[in-house]
Amino acid sequence: MSSINTDSLNRRLYATDASIYEEMPKGVAFPKTIEDIQQLVKQSKQKGFTITARSAGTSLAGQTTGGGVIMDVSRHMTSINRIDVKNHFAHLQPGVIRDTLNRETAKHQLQFGPDTATTNRCMLGGMIGNNSCGSFSIKHKTTREHILEIEAVLSDGSRAVFKPLSPNELEKKCRLETLEGDIYREMLDLLEKHKDEIFDHYPHPDIIRRNTGYALDRLCEMEPITPGGRSFNLAELLCGSEGTLAMTASAKVNLSPLPTEKTLLIPQFNSLHEAMLATVEAVKWDPAAVELVDDIILNATKGNIEQRKNRFFLEDDPKCLLIIQFEGDDADELANKAAGLKKKLEELELGYTHPVLTDPDKMRRVWDLRKAGLGLLMGLGSDSKSPTFVEDTAVRVEDLPEYVKEFQEILDKHNTTCVFYAHASVGELHLRPVVDTTKPGGLQKLKDIAQEVADLVKKYNGSLSGEHGDGRARAPYIETVLGKEMIPLLREVKEIWDPQYRFNPGKIINPKPIDTDLRYPPTYQKPEVDTVFNWRLSGGFDAAIEQCNGAGVCRKLAESGGTMCPSYHATRDEKDNTRGRANLFRQLFSGKDPEAFESEDLKEALNLCLSCKACKSECPANVDMAKMKAEFMNGWHEKKGATLVEKFFGQPEKLYPFASTFAKATNFINRQSPVKQAFEKIAGIDSRRNLPEFASQTFEEWFNKNGADFKNETGRQVVLLVDIFTNYHEPDIAKAALKVLSSLGFNVLVPGIWPTGRPQISKGLLKEAKSICKENIKRFSSFAELDIPIVGLEPSEILTLRDEYLDLCEESEIKKAEEIAAKAFLFEEFLYTEIASGEPRDFGKNRKVYLHGHCHTKALVGNDPLIQAFKHFGFEPVELQTGCCGMAGSFGYEKDKYDVSMKVGEQVLFPALRNLPEDALVCAPGFSCRHQIADGVNRGAKHPAVIIADVIPA
């Protein structure tokens, strides 16, 4: 077994999950097999430490935080052992991501039904622990209904398989002289003695999502406790037990047929009460889902690059809306249901518009917006903190309108607001009051609301937890909801299974007060550090390091789409995703800690960050880890100095002129094996890489001789920003751009070849970058003032003017910087903007162009301008969903990063390119991307300017 990691880096990374809590564990273990889990449990018994099981760590109630050893199954226990198509089940390990499972089962028209908002990163072990449900629980119910068997490790280290048992099988289990036998005998005895009491105190049985305490009411429905009930099955108890009773090592899960047809109805409302009344009506029409989204979330999508494009179905600004999905195999039947419900809502005057969608892509985009809700809430800024402590209550659907009305009264009493969203179809809304526990009175407000909401849940005989679990946040109020008579029974259950309280102590049973071990306690101090960036957009460096809430969207894998955290895709290590790094930033920089810029832990965590910027758009909270990394590395350099490799790659404008003067010799020397070995030893450049070759004539030299031929005194002026990489390495790209722009009637200006500061920012040389920024603001402001566009060829270079300059410049320069940013365009972006209204040009003859987008483009602009520009010129663009290439500027050239770089490329990009025809035309706007493609699959890729210039008539 892998050892228990007790280093400070791992302990810090696992101190938090997606909840309001932070507790430093003693260590972290990464088991690979069930035997490893058994050994860890036996160690726990021998050495006296506790174990908290964890997979993706997306839990909202604090159940995956603990002061003992965190057992993370997400790194190694990720195998789907078997998919039985005939009998509709799968057998898998607890670290299998739900969407990964469903991608495999979809090949056989099957699915694992429960569909949480976190399906692209949550894992089956966590879904079992929390008894997760999701948007389609009115149809698929909970995870509990889909678990056929659980193979578990018990608290003495023994193994057991829990599944439905016949009377004879149950009798045999009860005769076992083992802990497993004790569990069966004592659980049956407890249930038989207290059956009536349990039914009297537990939530109303009509509530599908009831997870308060242990599922004793479910067990009481079974044989022999209730004659004629379903077979006795302790796996149902383990669902929702949050790893407090046993450790899941594998599970057999039920698979349901995939529907062939889907239809969405999306009524939009002027009031929440209208939506609640509409929900009561909607559930009568047999929907698969009825989800509520309110205006707080909808407004948050306006400022999120990734979700802004998914707002297409909104009319005006609704107070809230319902997403109602109908599923089945008969499209006409679904259409009739949607039309019938739409008509009924119109008759009842519920909603002002009721769009119906049937296009699969549009429906997917609606659900993408809905699933982003949790993370979007966490990006609303420090003045809108909405901690997760009462967000998971569930009542009967018919009680929902009155329950919500009384919940609002609690909010009014405490002078706060709340987001209302999620699973209206089953009486569960995620209600997130705005409370700042760091401000005076904030903590008391949280505690008062928690108690009053628990009282309200009790009044409606509801469930304190619908799917997110009791954990630490709700466990203190179980007694309020179930009654004090139930607490001894719950404690007895815990002691039957885990008499020494080794497994996840303090969850469900014997909890600490709700305000213990908070991530943001009243004593929390914001950082007091000098920064080079001004952090204007986030509202300060302190706000930037608090943006991450732990939702873990950065843990989604490459096959789920997107780009975010490519190094995590390669390593599956928590330190290599945005959440892990952001947690370290907050832990190290909060308060007065002048040593934070010297943290070896943070340096190590940032080592494999490619600064791809995908988190800036794909993270719902818009955490900008690339900028945070640059700030930290600048501070590190101030304390410790920059390495030779950082200086080498971070200041190319100092080296390039000399190397270019002797281009032929430089290229020859750089190809030689002994020279490559020397570079590897001295400058850390991996010898397996081929350095970019220098052109025999730079673009600047060529333009000085030939630029006059392209003058067009009557055309609109445009500045072509030719970066130093294009100038020295690939001048043909700039020549092609000049040809394209000139052919369209523009008078192209090339005022000089100047650095933008991009390499300096990437290497954390921010003082140099700031100086370059200042010079370029002077250079470009005169063009911006004259309304002359500034068009760049290398995405990361031109987008530096749009992004980092707005935070590098001084207050006295901000107006000019904003004017420059407004006039700075990617080549393809400018091209499409200028020609969009003109007649299409069929130069491309419908030839397919396969696009691999640049990471910065995808994060800040999107690939649509490039796609549309190619269409305008007669090409048929095919956007490859390829994530990050893995090169990321100099990243892939560095010896300690080469393997990760190539592994990132192998995630999606390289296989996608290998599957293309040999003569396929591949477009990659990024300099680094083109070189990674050449190194990885020995294929050429072209800049869009070259592709378009090649088909424009001379």
Domain of 312, CATH number, reads 3.30.70.2190
What are residue 30's phi and psi, to 5 degrees? Answer: -125, 80
**Do 710 and 821 share a domain, yes or no?**
yes
Burial of 677 from C-beta contacts in 10 A (0-12 / 13-18 / 19+): exposed
Looking at residue 575, what is its pLDDT?
97
The three-state secondary structure class of 53 is strand
Q: Is 378's pLDDT higher than 60?
A: no
Name the pLDDT band for 383 (thresholds 50, 70, 90): low
Name the pLDDT band for 944 (thresholds 50, 70, 90): very high
Q: Is 377's pLDDT higher than 70?
A: no
**Do 421 and 551 share a domain, yes or no?**
no
13 occurs within a structural domain: yes
**Do 854 and 887 share a domain, yes or no?**
yes
Looking at residue 725, what is its pLDDT?
96
241 occurs within a structural domain: no
Per the structure, the complete domain to which residue 65 belongs is given by 8-72
Which residues are CB-neighbours of 230 under 8 A, at least 6 positions away?
164, 221, 222, 223
Which residues are CB-neighbours of 459 under 8 A, at least 6 positions away?
406
What are residue 421's phi and psi, to 5 degrees? Answer: -160, 170
Cα 525 from Cα 235, distance rounded (Å): 44
**Of the given ranges (304-318, 372-386, 418-432, 830-844), which has the lowest mean pLDDT?**
372-386
Q: Among all chains, which residue has been given the structure tokens 């990063």? A: 897
Q: Could you read off the pLDDT of 412-427 as tens digits, one per residue?
A: 999 999 888 889 889 8
> 458 versus 833: which is more confidently predicted?
458
Looking at residue 497, what is its pLDDT?
98
Burial of 566 from C-beta contacts in 10 A (0-12 / 13-18 / 19+): buried
175 occurs within a structural domain: no
Which residues are CB-neighbours of 672 under 8 A, at least 6 positions away?
none
204 occurs within a structural domain: no
Q: Could you read off the pLDDT of 112-131 as tens digits, one per residue?
A: 999 998 999 999 999 999 99
Name the pLDDT band for 527 (thresholds 50, 70, 90): confident
**Do 819 and 849 share a domain, yes or no?**
no
Domains in the chain: how many in total?
5
Average pLDDT over residues 844-869: 93
411 occurs within a structural domain: yes
**Do 406 and 554 share a domain, yes or no?**
no
Domain boundary among 639, 656, 674: 639
| Contact between residue 765 and residue 646 where contact means Cβ atoms under 8 Å apart | yes
| Contact between residue 894 and residue 645 where contact means Cβ atoms under 8 Å apart | yes
Domain boundary among 72, 91, 116: 72
Distances (CA, A) of 325 to 266, 281, 310, 328, 428: 9, 14, 17, 10, 17
pTM across the whole model:
0.93
Name the pLDDT band for 161 (thresholds 50, 70, 90): very high
Percent of the chain with pLDDT over 90: 86
**Do 789 and 723 share a domain, yes or no?**
yes
Average pLDDT over residues 575-597: 90
192 occurs within a structural domain: no
Return the CATH number at 934: 3.40.50
**Do 559 and 417 share a domain, yes or no?**
no
Q: Is 92's pLDDT higher than 80?
A: yes
Looking at residue 713, what is its pLDDT?
85
428 occurs within a structural domain: yes
What are residue 794's phi and psi, to 5 degrees? Answer: -95, 115
Looking at residue 381, what is its pLDDT?
54
Domain boundary among 29, 50, 72: 72
**Do 720 and 866 share a domain, yes or no?**
no
**Do 588 and 635 share a domain, yes or no?**
yes
Name the pLDDT band for 866 (thresholds 50, 70, 90): very high
**Do 847 and 792 share a domain, yes or no?**
no
Looking at residue 382, what is its pLDDT?
55
State the amino acid at position 732 in one-letter form. Answer: D
Average pLDDT over residues 587-609: 90
What are residue 503's phi and psi, to 5 degrees? Answer: -95, 115
**Do 858 and 885 share a domain, yes or no?**
yes
Length of the chain: 954
702 occurs within a structural domain: yes
Cα 120 from Cα 573, distance rounded (Å): 17
Cα 504 from Cα 17, distance rounded (Å): 14
**Do 796 and 925 share a domain, yes or no?**
no
